[in-house]
Structure 1
Amino acid sequence: MSSLNSSSAATNPNPGTLSHTILLTAVAVTALGQTLVFTLLPSLGRATGLAEMQVGLIISCSSLVFALASPVWGTLSESLGRKRVLVIGLSGYSLGTLMFAVVFDIGLHGGLAGALLVAGLVLSRMVQAAIMAATPAAAAAYTADITTPEQRTQGMGRIGAANNLGTVIGPVSGGILAAVGLVFPLYGVAALTALMAIATALWLPPSPHQPTARTVSLGKVLRSGLGAYADPRLRDLLLTGVMLFMSFALIQQTLGFLFQDHFGLSPAAAARALGLTMMAAAVTSLFGQIVVVQWLRAPATLLVALAVPALGAGALILRLADQQLVMSFAVLLVGLGLGFGMPAIMSLASLRVSSEEQGRVAGLASACPALGFILGPLVGTGLYTLDHRWPYLLVMSLMVPLAWLAWRLVRSAADSKAIDNG
């Protein structure tokens, strides 16, 4: 299987250090903005009078749009080129974040409230998601273009590490800037991603992948992109990735409310506490990716197998703990599990297809977080209104099918290796 997608990387030299830096920085900036928004949303929701379910609705609707758009953008990158799609995604993220910030600003000043405020926030976030979905898909496809099959897990690990670096910076910067104003960090993200779009357009060289056509039928792109969800080669990986990120979403989108309610924190104080906790989780994830993925070069199937117990242990501790420090430690385990799982899913998906399908499959793999965040926030916040610890009980129960899926992936990889050796 690995020989199918080696042609591009084998016949083209890897780009230089500057190119790597620009590509990984684009991923980091996007992750910074996403994590900053997720960290601030519980506090912004409370400050504007939104219920927990309404906050969850904002994330779920935008995640649905992202999930539908991601494989479409990945497919478009085959014809438009990875660089162009990457610039489109960063530009859309900047404009969408600006819209989102303006709507929240109006709500904080009393200009919008209730259903109108929710509608404005959902619409602006959906527009943002529809365009920014181009960035992760194009970045993953670009990485597949410049790595051989043997380097694929480490290459996707670098993407994961850049994502986690942004995740480290996002919460702490959001917590600090929130002291100026709760919505102020969103304006900062809009400006930062705009600068990143300009830098990418000016200095990132085109990917070694040669675009297939200058013009492309929108209907064909939609059929090919969305058709990736029905690809039997990727079904088990898609399900594993979705369940991993749904588990993470259940925890991330309820922890801010738990900090406020259980410890009596103000919205601003809860934003800072959650920001520091998510930053620490990202550091743990980053550590795991550097040590286990890059230095020890652990195979992708082992990474998936390690992700399940780490997530399960974190959820168990959150279900039982009553101290903020212990809860933060639990989130460290969750971050470690996600750090193992994300590059593994992207690598395994990339290795199952030919070089001509890398954009499409990169889009599908990049959609896994969004798919997990479609139901995760709504289900999590809904369960939270019934009992503050029920979301973590659900995460624990999800570990059973996840363990089965991880076992299937390990067995499938062993069978493929035996066939190749035979």
Structure 2
Amino acid sequence: MNSGKRNSRTLQHSILLMAVAATALGQTLVFTLLPSLGRATGMAEMEVGLIISCSALVFALASPVWGTISESMGRKAVLVIGLTGYSLGTLLFALVFHAGLNGWITGGLLVGGLVISRMLQAAIMAATPAAAAAYTADITTPEQRTQGMGRIGAANNLGTVIGPVSGGILAAITLVFPLYAVSVVTGLMAIGTACFLPASPQIRAKAAPSLLQTLKKGLGAYADPRLRDLLMTGVMLFMSFALIQQTLGFLFQDHFQMSPQAAARTLGITMMAAAITSLSGQIIVVQWLRAPASLLIAMAVPAIGAGAVVLWMAEAQLVMSGAVLLIGLGLGFGMPAIMSLASLRVGHEEQGRVAGLASACPALGFILGPLVGTGLYTLDHRWPYLLVMVLLIPLSWLAWRLVRRSSRS
């Protein structure tokens, strides 16, 4: 490869990874702040869970559709649309919360405004992960696919590291200020992507399908038998994570009598540490040791299971945080493996659709996870973590099937 092509490939990877990191930064920051913002505006735990669940449902439906659109419109255009939508959607979400904190809107009107603004944001920002994963598939060979998707996962974890730290620091100004900062960062990233990202080398569809055809093809990915086991595995992985992430902030407030601001900082530090663990695992195991996707899946399940057991039994804050590190490590192994295996099961003409489906796995896990988790939390503070342990039974079976299928191929 000559130096010109090498420099172009480096630029492609760098901008892609920065776009993914910026989106992950915003997502993690929101998840970290929501329990504290909810308490500060007088919302119940399940109302906070409702915000995440509704937006996750919209994201899950939109993600494979945007992936399908990228096959004719191009990955770059869809990526810019997603980043722009994230920026504007976060701004709207922040304005609604700002009104709630000042008492201008309260009760059902506040909850409704937050749900609607977050759903509108999710409908557009779903374009970003799908286009980034499809772009990565375009510029990697099948042999490089797991490492390529691992880089996407590493960028996601980098954003996850920066998000809680920056959120905790900026929340000292006001609880809602970090949301305004995220809107600015993703807006600048949209401009940078539009100006500097080269077009993807994909083979585009000759003619753009109609809206009905696009919806049918995109949503039809959910019924594709080639991807069913991967979809179920990804959903259970992220549902387990959602059950923990969306209740831990409340647990810190109730079990350790923390203020909303202190709980936001503590949860932010915990999630940052989990992201660092996940990032380290991806760099060492995925990039350096080049572990196959089947091995990554086999390592992910016991890590999450061990974390859930420790979290269910723990009383000390440090031990709880250590349990979350194990869960972060499991996710760090699991998600690149699912994205890689999904990409390798289809041809180049389906990469966008499949990338959208794989990118929807986190959102699908967050549809039920926050609602079920916060609902169980109101009954008993440890029940969400007991449910994660129960989910490990079907998840272990699915992981075993994936490993066995990979060994046969």
SS in 1 for 2:378: helix
For 1:359, the aligned partner's letter is G
Q: List gaps (5 residues or longer) in structure 1.
A: 1-11, 417-422
Q: Residue in 2 aligned with 1:3?
A: none
| CA positional deviation for 1:65 | 0.1
2:273 is the alignment partner of 1:257: no
2:306 is the alignment partner of 1:320: no
2:108 is the alignment partner of 1:79: no
SS in 2 for 1:264: coil
For 2:95, the aligned partner's letter is V
| CA positional deviation for 1:338 | 0.3
For 2:402, the aligned partner's letter is L
Of 12, 33, 44, the match for 1:19? 12
Give the alignment's Cα RMSD to 1 decimal: 1.0
Query: Is the contact made by 1:175 and 1:272 (CA closer than 8 Å) also made in structure 2?
Result: yes
| CA positional deviation for 1:213 | 3.7
Query: Is the contact made by 1:161 and 1:289 (CA closer than 8 Å) also made in structure 2?
Result: yes
Of 103, 107, 123, the match for 2:100? 107
2:390 is the alignment partner of 1:397: yes
Deviations 1:18-51 (A, max 9, x none): 2211110000000000000000000000000000
2:166 is the alignment partner of 1:166: no
**What pairs up with 1:303-382 in 2 under 5 angstroms?**
303-382=296-375
Determine the C-alpha separation between the residues in 2 that align with 1:223 and 1:14: 38
Determine the C-alpha separation between the residues in 2 that align with 1:79 and 1:213: 7
Q: Residue in 1 aligned with 2:170?
A: 177
| CA positional deviation for 1:69 | 0.1
Query: Is the contact made by 1:383 and 1:390 (CA closer than 8 Å) also made in structure 2?
Result: yes
2:30 is the alignment partner of 1:43: no
Determine the C-alpha separation between the residues in 1 that align with 2:11 and 2:138: 17
Q: Residue in 2 aligned with 1:200?
A: 193
Query: Is the contact made by 2:72 and 2:205 (CA closer than 8 Å) also made in structure 1?
Result: yes
Q: Residue in 2 aligned with 1:9?
A: none
**What pairs up with 1:162-311 in 2 under 5 angstroms?**
162-213=155-206, 215-311=208-304
For 2:101, the aligned partner's letter is L
2:96 is the alignment partner of 1:97: no
Distance 1:312 1:217, change over 3 A: same
2:387 is the alignment partner of 1:388: no
SS in 2 for 1:16: helix
| CA positional deviation for 1:17 | 1.8
Query: Is the contact made by 1:44 and 1:182 (CA closer than 8 Å) also made in structure 2?
Result: yes
Deviations 1:220-275 (A, max 9, x none): 00000000000000000000000000000000000000000000000000000000
Q: Which portions of structure 1, spanning 4 or more consecutive aligned residues, are displaced by more than 2 angstroms?
A: 12-16, 213-216
| CA positional deviation for 1:214 | 5.5
Query: Is the contact made by 1:13 and 1:146 (CA closer than 8 Å) also made in structure 2?
Result: no
| CA positional deviation for 1:215 | 3.6
Q: Residue in 2 aligned with 1:141?
A: 134
SS in 2 for 1:112: coil
Query: Is the contact made by 1:14 and 1:146 (CA closer than 8 Å) also made in structure 2?
Result: no
| CA positional deviation for 1:81 | 0.1
Deviations 1:67-111 (A, max 9, x none): 000000000000000000000000000000000000000000001
Q: List gaps (5 residues or longer) in structure 2.
A: none
Q: How many pairs were matched up?
A: 405
Q: Residue in 2 aligned with 1:31?
A: 24
For 1:375, the aligned partner's letter is L
| CA positional deviation for 1:14 | 8.6
For 1:276, the aligned partner's letter is I
Query: Is the contact made by 1:15 and 1:146 (CA closer than 8 Å) also made in structure 2?
Result: no
Determine the C-alpha separation between the residues in 1 that align with 2:206 and 2:171: 46
For 1:234, the aligned partner's letter is L
Deviations 1:132-154 (A, max 9, x none): 00000000000000000000000
TM-score by length of 1: 0.95
Query: Is the contact made by 2:203 and 2:349 (CA closer than 8 Å) also made in structure 1?
Result: no
For 1:316, the aligned partner's letter is V
Determine the C-alpha separation between the residues in 1 that align with 2:275 and 2:58: 25
TM-score by length of 2: 0.98
| CA positional deviation for 1:305 | 0.7
Determine the C-alpha separation between the residues in 2 that align with 1:207 and 1:16: 10
Query: Is the contact made by 1:74 and 1:359 (CA closer than 8 Å) also made in structure 2?
Result: yes
Query: Is the contact made by 2:60 and 2:361 (CA closer than 8 Å) also made in structure 1?
Result: yes
